[in-house]
Structure 1
Amino acid sequence: MNTQVNGTIAVFGATGQQGGAVVDALLDRGARVRALVRDPESGRAQALAARGVELAAIRIDDPASLADALATVEAFHFMTPEANSLDEVEAEIRVGTALVDAAVAAHVPHVVFNSVFGADQETGVPHHDSKHWIEEHLGKSGLRATMVRPAAFMEGFASVMAPSLEHGKIVLRLPLAEDVAVKMISVRDIGRIAAAVLLDTADAPGGAIDLVADELTGPQIAAAFGARAGLPARYEALPLTVLPSELDRAMFRQFAQAAEHPADLAVVRAIEPATLDLAEWIRAIGWTVPTNAVAP
C-alpha cells in the first residue's frame, strides 16, 4: 500500500449523486478537494464552496481549462454523465476522453474512474459499453489508473424500483426472473470506497474494484422490505416490455447476465468494513411503509 495522499484531490461530477458521495467521504477524512464545475455560481457548486471545497471552472470543449483545473492535484476522480440515448452515449465518451487527455496533460499522479460493473468487457449495453471504451482509453494513457465499478444502486429501491403496499402486503415488481440475484451497493459506500482508493489507504489489485455490497433475488429483496415493515411480502417478475426504452431493456438483460457471476463481497468490506447490505441500508435511510397503499 502506498503512502497516504495529503495534497488536493480533484473531483469531476461533484455536484451529482455519486461524485457528491465521493466529496462527502473525502471531506470526512480531512482531504482537500477541488471540484471541477461548469458553473461555479450554481446553487450546488456554492454549497460545496461553503463546505470548504475549492471550485475550478471548466469547459469540456476547452482542453486548456481542464488541464489547468487539474494542475498540481495528487489524484483525480471522475465519472461521466449517465446516457439515456445513443446520442448521449457518444457525448459521454467525448467527456470521458477529454478528461483522460487533460489528466495526461496535467501529469496527474493517480486517476480513479467511476465506471460500472461489468465494464471490463463489452456487454452490448450502450451506456455501459461507453464506460468500457473510456476505461480502454484511460488504460492506454500511461497514467496510473484505478477503475471502480459499482453495481446497481440500492437507492433505486427508494425511487423507480420502490416496493408498494397492497392489501396489507409489501409488493416488489422488477423486470427480472425471481431466481436472478441483483448485485447492489449504496451510493454512500461508493463514495467511501472511492475516497479510500484516492487517498491510497486501499489497494486495488489489478487496477480495478467491483463494488458489490449485497446480492439478492427479487423475493429476497421483497422479504427484506417486508421484515422492516413487519408485514408479509411478495415478489412479481415483470416482462422487459414494461421498460420505456431499449437502453433500459438492455441494462436489465445485463443484470440477469451479471447474476451468473457471483461477486466477492469480501473485497469491498476489506476496504470499508461498514459497507451496508440491503437490510442495513433500509434501516439507515429510515425506510417506512409507503403511504399510497392499495386498500384491502
Structure 2
Amino acid sequence: MTYVIHGATGAQGAPVVAALAAAGKPVTALTRNPDAVVDGARVVAADYSSTEELTEAYRGANGVFVHLPMVSEEDRQTYARNIIAAVRAARPARVVLSTSGAPTDPDTGGAAAMLASGLADSGVSHAVIAPTFYLENLLMPFVVDTVRERGVLPYPIRADFPVSWASHLDIADAAVALFDRSDVTGVVSVGQYPAITGPDLAKAFGARFGQNVDFEPIAPEQFRTSIAPLIGEGPAADVAGLYTAMSTLPDRSIAPENSAQKLLDITPRTTSQWLADIGL
C-alpha cells in the first residue's frame, strides 16, 4: 500500500511527496521520466495519456494525489477522462484532487470540473482541494525580478481585488491531512482568509526585501506575453482569458464554511510566512 503522487518532481507534487515522506508514509512518485530520482519515494513512469499505466499505478494505493498539468484544454480533458477511467478500474482507497485554481462548476465544462464530477460519480472516497491563486506565481522572473529591480510588483488583477492566496506548501498540508480524513469529502477551499489585495502583497514583499514595493496592475495580455515563453502560447492564452474573465468579479475569496481552516484545522501561510519558508 502506498500514496501515489502525480507530478512528483514538479511544483505541486514535490511538496506532497516531501510531506508524506517526512511522516514516514510509503510514496510512489509518478513521472514521465523513468530515470528520475525522488527522495523518499519509489519512482514509477506513468503518463496521463495512458489509462492502462494510470490504472496499474493506482491499483492497491492508500491514496492518489492528482492535478492536471498546464497543457491545452483539449489535452486536459483527455487526461481527465483517463484518470476517471483508471480510478474506476483500480479503486484506490482515496483520491485527492487539486483543481489548481480552475473552476469546478460542471456548467463551465472545463477539465477540472469534468474530473471532479467523474470522481464524485466513481464511488471512490475523494476530496477536492480548491485554491484560488498560487503565491508561487509571484516567483515568475518577470514578477520577482521587477520587485527587486524597480520596487514594483506587477500582476493582472485590480489593486482593489481581494484574493485568498495559497502556496504549494499549503496544498501539500491539506492533501496529507485529507488522506487521513476520509470523513471530509467534497470541496475544501485552501487560501488566506480574509482575502488580501495586491498592495497587501507588495507590502509583504517590501518588508521581506527591506525596500518600498508598490503594486502595479497589468493587463492580462501583458501577462500572457510574459508567461508564454515559460508555459507555451496556448496555455498562456488560456490563463490570460481566465484573468480577463475574473476582471469583472468583486474578488477571489474562499468561503469560510468549506475552508481548510474550518474542515481541517489548517491555517494557510501568510505571504510573509511563505516568503520566509521558501527563503526568498
Counterpart-to-counterpart distance in 2, 1:117 and 1:59: 22
Q: How do 1:102-117 residues align onto structure 2 when only pairs under 5 Å count?
A: 102-117=86-101
Deviation track 1:21-66 (CA, whole Å, cap 9, x = no partner) reads 111111111111112333311xxx22x1xx3412233344443332
Larger helix proportion of the pair: 2
Higher relative contact order, chain-length normalized (CA < 8 Å, sep 6+): 1
The residue aligned with 2:30 is 36
Counterpart-to-counterpart distance in 1, 2:165 and 2:177: 19
Q: Does residue 78 of structure 1 match 2:66?
A: yes
The residue aligned with 1:283 is 276
Q: Does residue 229 of structure 1 match 2:209?
A: yes
Q: Does residue 135 of structure 1 match 2:140?
A: no
Alignment TM-score, normalising by the size of structure 1? 0.79
Given candidates 190, 193, 199, the residue that maps to 1:219 is 199
Q: CA deviation at 1:131?
A: 0.8
Counterpart-to-counterpart distance in 2, 1:60 and 1:284: 31
Counterpart-to-counterpart distance in 1, 2:14 and 2:113: 23
Give the direction of change, closer, same or farther, for the CA distance of 1:70–1:280 in structure 2 (3 Å limit): same
Give the direction of change, closer, same or farther, for the CA distance of 1:24–1:254 in structure 2 (3 Å limit): farther
Q: CA deviation at 1:132?
A: 1.1
Larger strand proportion of the pair: 1
Counterpart-to-counterpart distance in 1, 2:125 and 2:173: 20
> How many equivalent pairs are there?
264
Give the direction of change, closer, same or farther, for the CA distance of 1:182–1:253 in structure 2 (3 Å limit): farther
Deviation track 1:215-263 (CA, whole Å, cap 9, x = no partner) reads 2111111111122233333222223332335423222235443716554
Segment of structure 1 superposing worse, 230-239 or 249-258? 249-258
Alignment TM-score, normalising by the size of structure 2? 0.83
- Residue type of the alignment partner of 1:223: K
Structure 1's unaligned 5+ residue stretches are 1-6, 288-296
Q: How do 1:1-296 residues align onto structure 2 when only pairs under 5 Å count?
A: 7-41=1-35, 45-46=36-37, 48=38, 51-83=39-71, 88-117=72-101, 119-121=103-105, 129-159=110-140, 160-162=142-144, 163-165=146-148, 170-198=151-179, 200-201=180-181, 203-204=183-184, 206-213=185-192, 215-244=195-224, 245-256=236-247, 257=249, 259=251, 261-264=253-256, 267-269=259-261, 271=264, 273=266, 275-287=268-280
What is the aligned-residue RMSD (CA, Å)? Answer: 2.7
Counterpart-to-counterpart distance in 2, 1:251 and 1:99: 24
| 3-state SS, counterpart of residue 15 of structure 2 | helix
Deviation track 1:71-109 (CA, whole Å, cap 9, x = no partner) reads 2112111111112xxxx2111111122122112111212
Structure 2's unaligned 5+ residue stretches are 225-235
Query: How much identity, in percent, do the aligned residues show?
Result: 24
- Residue type of the alignment partner of 2:274: W
Bigger radius of gyration among the two: 1
Q: CA deviation at 1:279?
A: 1.4
Give the direction of change, closer, same or farther, for the CA distance of 1:72–1:91 in structure 2 (3 Å limit): same
